[in-house]
């Protein structure tokens, strides 16, 4: 049985913890910078201390927090082997690949030849069509739909229900608003919303 620890700060997506447990992993502990949580448990898993205390553990970690910038800060801060979490109620074509630290939640669908980087979060009911390339520290909120051959660069945040049509690229650090539909390339560090998605 695979053992992991979770690293978190801010809102804790308990779906990540439950996904790990549902997939048969044993979650040994949660390291969280919210000190008021220390000593508490969630689904029987104890909050044992601050993020920094997870450094150099001999158990793989996964960064659970849903803020992609904070995930990157934590990943840069810690010397840790990174695990992956895949909810058993997800559909992943065997040709799809995803890097360490990446989390895939219930209902997600990854079609053939999808490539996903490190520490990316694929939330519930996200659909990723064939040949999409998704970078590191990307955040795809529930219900996001990516058509074929879409490219999502590092640190981009696609909010709940956002859609991207085929072959469109979302630049690094950009944000696509709730239920926005990106129909052309979005440059880096740009915030867009609406249908069609326009800068805000």
Partner 1 sequence: MSKGLGPLLVVGAGGHAKAVVGAAQVAGFDVLKVYDDDPDKWGEEVLGVEVIGPIRRILDAAATPTILAIGDPATRKAMVESLPLEWATLIHPNAFLESSVEVGPGTVMFAGVVCQPDARVGSHVILNANVTVASDCIVEDFAHLAPGVDLSHDVHVGVGVFMGIGAVTLPNLRVGNWTTVGAGAAVMSDLPESVVAVGSPARVIKSLVGKIGPREFNH
Regarding 198 and contact with partner 1 (CB under 8 A), the answer is no
Question: Considering the rule CB under 8 A, would residue 101 count as an interface residue with partner 1?
Answer: no
Residue tagged 């590191």 (tokens): 136
Q: Which sequence positions are flagged as catalytic?
A: 130
SS3 readout for 13-51? CHHHHHHHHHCCCEEEEEEECCHHHCCCEECCEEEEECH
Instruction: Determine if 178 is a binding residue for partner 1 (CB under 8 A).
Output: yes
When the beta carbons of 187 and 194 are compared against partner 1, the nearer one is 194
Q: How many residues bind partner 1 (CB under 8 A)?
A: 28
Task: Give buried/exposed letters for 80-109 (b at 16+ CB in 10 A, else e).
Answer: bebbbbbbeebebeeebebbbbbbbbbbbb
CB 96 within 8 A of CB 112: yes
Work out which of 10, 14, 167, 198 binds partner 1, going by CB under 8 A.
14
Q: Is 18 in the site for partner 1 (CB under 8 A)?
A: yes
Residues from 109 through 168 that contact partner 1 (CB under 8 A): 123-125, 141-143, 159-161
Please, which residue, 15 or 54, has the CB nearer to partner 1? 15
Nearer to partner 1 (CB atom), residue 141 or residue 153? 141
Looking at the DSSP bridge assignments, the partners of residue 76 are none
Stretch 31-90 residues interacting with partner 1 (CB under 8 A): 43, 89
**Class of residue 22 by CB neighbours under 10 A (exposed 0-12, middle 13-18, buried 19+):** middle
Report the DSSP beta bridge partners of residue 185. none
Residues of this chain that bind partner 1 (CB under 8 A): 11, 13-15, 17-18, 22, 43, 89, 105-107, 123-125, 141-143, 159-161, 177-180, 193-195
């Amino acid at each position: 049985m695979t053992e992991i620890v979770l690293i978190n700060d801010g809102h804790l997506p308990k779906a990540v913890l439950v996904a790990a447990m549902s997939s048969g992993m044993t979650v040994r502990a949660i390291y969280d910078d919210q000190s008021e949580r220390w000593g508490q448990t969630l689904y029987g898993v104890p909050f044992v201390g601050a993020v920094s205390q997870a450094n150099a553990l001999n158990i793989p970690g996964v960064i659970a927090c849903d803020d992609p910038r904070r995930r990157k800060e934590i990943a840069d801060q810690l010397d840790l082997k990174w695990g992956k979490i895949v909810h058993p109620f997800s559909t992943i074509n065997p040709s799809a690949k995803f890097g360490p630290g990446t989390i895939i939640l219930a209902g997600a669908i990854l079609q053939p030849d999808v490539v996903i980087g490190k520490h990316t979060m694929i939330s519930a009911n996200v659909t990723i069509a064939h040949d999409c390339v998704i970078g590191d520290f990307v955040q795809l909120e529930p219900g996001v739909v990516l058509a074929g051959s879409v490219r999502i660069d590092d640190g981009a945040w696609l909010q709940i229900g956002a859609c991207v049509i085929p072959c469109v690229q979302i630049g690094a650090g950009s944000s696509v608003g709730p239920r926005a539909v990106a129909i052309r390339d979005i440059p880096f560090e740009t915030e867009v919303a609406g249908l069609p998605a326009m800068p805000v």
